[in-house]
Amino acid sequence: MIERKQYLEKLIRFKDKELIKMITGIRGCGKSTLFDIYIDYLLKNGVKKEQIIRLNLEEPVYYEIDSYLKLYNYVKDKMNPDKMNYIFLEEIQNIPQFQKAVNGLYIKKNADIYITGSNEYLLSGEWATLLSGRYIEVKMLPLSFKEYCLAFPNESEDRNYQKYISTGSLPYILMLDDVDDVDMYIREIYNSIILKDIMARRSFKDKQMLHSIINFMLENIGIVYSTNKIADIMTSNVYTVENYLKALRDAFVLYKATRYDIKRKRYLKTGSKYYVADLGIRYFLLEKKEQGREQILENVVYLELLRRGYDVYIGKVSEYEIDFVAINSKGIEYYQVAETVRNEKTLERELKSLDIIRDHYPKYLLTMDIEPISDFNGIKKMNVLDWLLNNV
């Protein structure tokens, strides 16, 4: 089992704080396993087994709990009145108006609440209004490349990377040795997302259109497309395409990177890019197509920047594009990503985009080239695998 250290440490920091801990992320990214690891931590640090209440609301044994009042009463009756209770509620979006149950438990002084969900719906509408200021969101992604390599310490970094971008980074994949078993597992995850997290919640009628839009977006990760353009290609209307894309984002299948005008310091409304949460899903749906290796590498870097706590945008400066503008409380970093820059003209092109930026924030050019770190007028060029592994 890979210890999801960055997520575990966040839960530990917020233990016993008067905040609901909401863990969100695509199905299969490891939310339940994180609870396993955290509960083990609690038991090793003074918490008794009877203080822990855990429900996975997708398990048939809990199907009778079909309302927020039943959920509230079930948990309340299990609570120890004289001690802190650690309450874990998984896939809570299955309970109508679950927010009321959570709010009722939250106001009790001896309840420390942790919940998971596979849909952004949890953070919208009544949830946001009723529990505003009372929760933190822990945004969970599948395994990072560094975490993935921990499972295969005897493999080369290159070999691990090839497996990482094909079989994907959902943690359970590590338990499967046969390629057919991997395909079967990804198929089940994908079908669950489509049926449970999208079709059922949105009442979409056209499943084939949803599949077509997913396939199109996966073929074109990291490419700028307007919703109008996608609608034209799909021979659909803009409203329908927008709804399907929103549903895919809400289910944490796709992530949207909007554009940022570096010179004018403003966010742009047009020309976004999309990236997929797990490249194994892309590999499976596109029937093992490996085209667009640079797009794939860009996807890997984008997700890693999210893991490291950045808000990530596509940069624009004059007529040039910067692959990523990464912003956090400490400042800004700029990234260009390329498979290789051993061709002099390619190197010149990639450096030009960064060199034209006139501020003094860090600038990086990440490539698969196996070469020492080099500096070009303040722009650090480094091997992307070393960067992913924090070896630089």
What are the chain's domains? 5-139 (3.40.50.300), 145-388 (no CATH)
Q: What is the pLDDT of residue 94?
A: 81
Write out the E strands in the chain.
20-24, 52-56, 85-90, 111-117, 135-139, 254-261, 266-276, 311-317, 320-328, 331-338, 363-367, 374-376, 379-383
Q: What is the pLDDT of residue 236?
A: 87
Q: What is the pLDDT of residue 73?
A: 96
From residue 175, alpha-carbon distances to 2, 22, 144 in Å are 11, 27, 16
Q: What is the pLDDT of residue 91?
A: 87
Reference 111, options 79, 135, 140; nearest CA is: 79
Q: What is the pLDDT of residue 287?
A: 77
Taking only the tens of pLDDT, the chain with its 392 residues reads 788 999 999 999 999 999 999 999 999 999 999 999 999 999 999 999 999 999 999 899 999 999 999 999 999 999 999 999 999 999 888 888 888 999 999 999 999 999 998 877 666 655 567 777 888 999 999 999 999 999 999 999 999 999 999 999 999 999 998 989 999 999 999 998 888 778 877 778 788 888 999 999 999 999 988 889 999 998 888 998 999 999 999 999 999 999 988 888 888 888 899 999 999 999 988 876 666 889 999 999 999 999 999 999 999 998 889 999 999 999 999 999 999 999 999 999 999 999 999 888 999 999 999 999 999 999 999 999 999 998 76
Q: What is the pLDDT of residue 291?
A: 65
Neighbours of 169 (CB within 10 A): 25
Residues forming a β-bridge with 26: none
Token duo for residue 307: 């893991």
At 372 the three-state DSSP class reads coil
Count Cα atoms within 13 angstroms, Cβ side, for 62: 19
Token duo for residue 342: 């051993």
Measured in degrees and rounded to the nearest 5, phi and psi for residue 86 equal -105, 110
Q: What is the pLDDT of residue 127?
A: 58
